[in-house]
Amino acid sequence: MINLFKKKDAKAFVKKHAFLPGALALRIYTSRLIGANSDLVLHGGGNTSVKLMSKNILGEKKDVIFVKGSGMDLSTIGPDGFVGLNMEPLRRLRNVKDLADEVMQNQLRIHRIDASAPDPSVEALLHIFLPHTYIDHTHADSILILTNQKNGKRIVKEALGDKVPVISYILSGLPLAKAMINQYKKNPDIEAIVVMNHGIFTFADSAETSYKNMVAYVSKAETYIKEQTKSKLFYTPSGARISREKSPSAIQRAAQVIRGTCAHGQDKNTGKLRKFCIEIRDGRDLIEASLSKEAKEICRSGVLTPDHAIRTKNEMAYIPSMPADDAALKQLVHRVVHAYKKDYRQYVQSRKTTKNIDFESLDPYPRLFLVFGAGLIAIGFSRKDARIAADIGEHTIRAKRKALTFGEYKPISRSHVFDMEYWSLQQQKLKKSAILPLQGQIALVTGAAGAIGAGVAERLLAAGAVVVISDIDKKRLEIVYSILTEKYNKNLLECEIFDVTDFKSVQNGFNRICQKTGGIDIVVPNAGVAHVAKIEDMDPQKFDQVMAVNLKGTYTVIKAAIPVFRRQGTGGNIIVISSKNVFDPGAAFGAYSASKAGAHQISKIAALELAEMGVRVNMVNPDAVFGDDKIPSKLWGVVGPDRMKSRGLDPEGLQNYYQQRNLLKTRVLAEHVGNAVVFFASDLTPTTGAALPVDGGNPATFSR
């Protein structure tokens, strides 16, 4: 492990943050160095602190500690990620025999120097009791590898030396804080403390030294592991082999089936089926792990540290084969998930009985799946949750690989994991937010480089979906991506380039999408082109081009979506962006009107054929959507000049003309079309095969 501390960079960081006390600025600097290394901490794990003197509102100097806020990410932490606490009253808690969680939390809250600061780390008392100015704590992989061994204490002492005492696992809070200070009082010369199945704490009176000690001792652990595993096979080959070329297809199929199998219940807030987001990891070493004789043991042997349980649960699910037949794969995944749920419920019930308490159980679904010959699949209620689980899963598998190689892996007991998984102070790290209508769903919008496609994508993002925008025009698509990511988290948006007129290109595009997202729930065929010409003047090749994009393009996208919907088995929505021209065609606009009518008709056929799978197919018929300067309408780029010339209007005048033409005298916007798509995608009514006009009111398009 490399020591990243540079005096020049630290000095520049302190200067840049001159508005902060220098000690706190250094604390932030080294905290980010720790957070930048995923072998030390992952996603809100670990914590750091600094003690300093601070004046209160009366000008009195007080001992204050700034400790990391609960769940804050060290890699990006800033001043607002730390909580200032008055130490004097909190130090006295060393004399308290025990402390209920709620009481401890209240004590920490009422002694904040800023009432708006986040809740401090659950290990804040530990940081307060130890006398050192700087304290660092990580869940370093190499330390956890050593502590999760049958003779873990002896191994840690052998690897790290005499200046690092080892204590048994103790739940964070007052008990661990007391154990740590007692250990320090026995030998004030120690430089670190390792807590079994938990991690390592280093401390010093300078930020550089505390960080340097962290790097040094973790490096010692890494060197020890490397020496112990030298020339040894990481996995025992099972004899099974799946070629690397096939694995992406295999893992996509598995991901789609897993998404469908784990979708569950009627969400109490929305009344809808709750779906998971997927993250796929298929590195070579993960595939090797899935094929090894140790694969089942890797999945069953629990988390590296109980802190991970809130993100991944204690065990992974193992899919022991990869049937070529989708029906057989569904049956296998269903059996695995059913067995996992049964075991999880028994695990929770046994703790309820043992502790004689009652509480609301968390959902029983696994968060990590190791799939034979394919790799690792993680699920979460948001894409962020899935990615966090996947990161932890990757590190866990790689750590267990080493742990199993040089010793006898011995995880912490399930009872300790349960205590952490259901600990209210730990659950608070999972910030609960309102569930949006399309949260957990994956949407694809074709033709997204134009005004309507971009408007639809924006409304789907606002409704909580992960959105894939697609087009054949890469430059315009990049502009749309840039505009959307100014408002929405870029992790919720993906781009894909494919040609809707080429079915193979569409299939490959869907495969890439499923590799990134695990599946698709909402498909919006929107790609379209226009051509202005009377029939007698029309170039047949132009007619073919319009038909290929508007009609065939709708067909290819619907066709490519069907296998994904079938594997997931949770229904879905196809919302075709049709046109008012289906019902009210215009002269010199025959190719467009005919192609849209054909697309409308094939969509109705799809509604008939896909209903048995619970897939709804509906159409939205917009009119006169012009877009804006940032994302103009491609259609009106073609049609507009002819319309303006025939009516003697400028661009603004043309828009006003169409606004005054509709019954409501309103300007139709791309977001209105997007709202119609969200309505259908939200399953608010049992509707399929319907056409919804978004045109401000046009009698010629009234249903009849």
Which runs of consecutive H residues, i.e. helices, occur in 36-123? 87-91, 101-110
Whether pLDDT at 269 is above 90:
no
Q: Is 580 helix (H, G, I), strand (E, B) or coil?
A: helix
Q: Identify the band that residue 10 occupies on the pLDDT scale cut at 50, 70 and 90.
A: very high
- Tell me the residue ranges of DSSP E strands in 448-586: 466-471, 493-497, 522-524, 572-577
pLDDT range class, residue 205, cuts 50, 70, 90: very high
Measure the CA–CA gap between 657 and 108, rounded to whole angstroms.
Answer: 64
Distance CA 239, CA 236 (A): 9
The answer to whether the CB of 153 falls within 8 A of the CB of 196 is: yes
Strand partners, 439: none
pLDDT band of 247, cuts 50, 70, 90: very low
pLDDT of amino acid 145? 96
Report d(CA 372, CA 393) in Å as an integer.
15
In the predicted model, what is the mean pLDDT of residues 181-206?
A: 97
Asked if 662 and 668 touch (Cβ cutoff 8 Å), the reply is yes
pLDDT digits (tens, 9 = 90+) for 93-103: 999 999 998 99
pLDDT score recorded for residue 355: 85
pLDDT tens, position by position, 101-154: 899 999 999 999 999 999 999 999 999 999 999 999 999 999 999 999 999 999
- State the pLDDT confidence band at 267, using cuts at 50, 70 and 90: low
- The string of pLDDT tens digits covering residues 638-674 is 777 777 777 788 888 888 988 999 999 999 999 999 9
Under 8 Å CB-to-CB from 704, ≥6 apart: which residues? none
**What is the percent of the chain with per-residue pLDDT over 90, rounded to a whole number?**
82
Label residue 245 by pLDDT band (50, 70, 90).
Answer: very low
Q: Phi and psi dihedrals of 215, rounded to 5?
A: -65, -40
Comparing 181 with 701, which gets the higher pLDDT? 181
Candidates 377, 369, 367, 368; CA nearest to 282 is 377
Q: Which of 422, 592, 657, 658 is the catalytic position?
A: 592
- pLDDT tier at 235, thresholds 50, 70, 90: low
Which token pair is 2? Answer: 């490399």
pLDDT of residue 63: 96
Does residue 523 contact residue 573 with C-beta atoms inside 8 Å?
yes
Q: Which whole-number Å values give the CA distances from 276 to 127, 262, 382, 491, in the listed order?
A: 37, 7, 7, 15
Task: Measure the CA–CA gap between 685 and 91, rounded to whole angstroms.
Answer: 59
Task: Return the CATH fold of 442-696.
Answer: Rossmann fold (3.40.50)
**What is the Cα Rg of the chain in Å?**
30
CATH of domain 247-427: 3.40.225
User: pTM for the whole thing?
Assistant: 0.91
Q: Which CATH superfamily is domain 7-228 in?
A: Class II aldolase/adducin N-terminal domain (3.40.225.10)
Q: Give the integer Cα–Cα distance in Å for 179 and 176.
A: 5
The yes-or-no verdict on residue 208 having pLDDT over 90 is yes
Tell me whether the CATH fold assigned to 7-228 matches the one assigned to 442-696: no
- Is 592 one of the annotated active-site residues of the chain? yes
Contact status, residue 332 vs residue 357, Cβ threshold 8 Å = no
pLDDT tops 50 at residue 173: yes
Tell me how far apart the alpha carbons of residues 650 and 21 are, in angstroms, rounded to a whole number. 61
The model's confidence at residue 244, banded by pLDDT at 50, 70 and 90, is very low
pLDDT for 642: 76
Annotate 1-16 with DSSP letters as a single string.
Answer: ------HHHHHHHHHH
pLDDT tens digits, residue range 460-487? 999 999 999 999 999 999 999 999 999 9
pLDDT band of residue 268 (cuts 50, 70, 90) is low
CA dihedral 198, 199, 205, 211 (to 10 degrees): -150
As a whole number, the mean pLDDT across the chain is 93
- State the pLDDT at residue 339: 98
Q: Are 50 and 24 spatial neighbours (Cβ–Cβ below 8 Å)? A: yes
| Model confidence at 246: pLDDT above 50 | no
Give the pLDDT confidence of 451-461 residue by residue, as tens digits. 999 999 999 99
pLDDT in tens, 556-605: 999 999 999 999 999 999 999 999 999 999 899 899 999 999 999 999 99
The secondary structure of 236-263 as a DSSP string is -B-S----TTTHHHHHHHHHHHHHHHH-
**Mean pLDDT over residues 241-270, rounded?**
75
What's residue 556's pLDDT? 98
Going from N- to C-terminal start, the domains of the chain cover 7-228, 247-427, 442-696
What pLDDT was estimated at residue 201?
Answer: 98
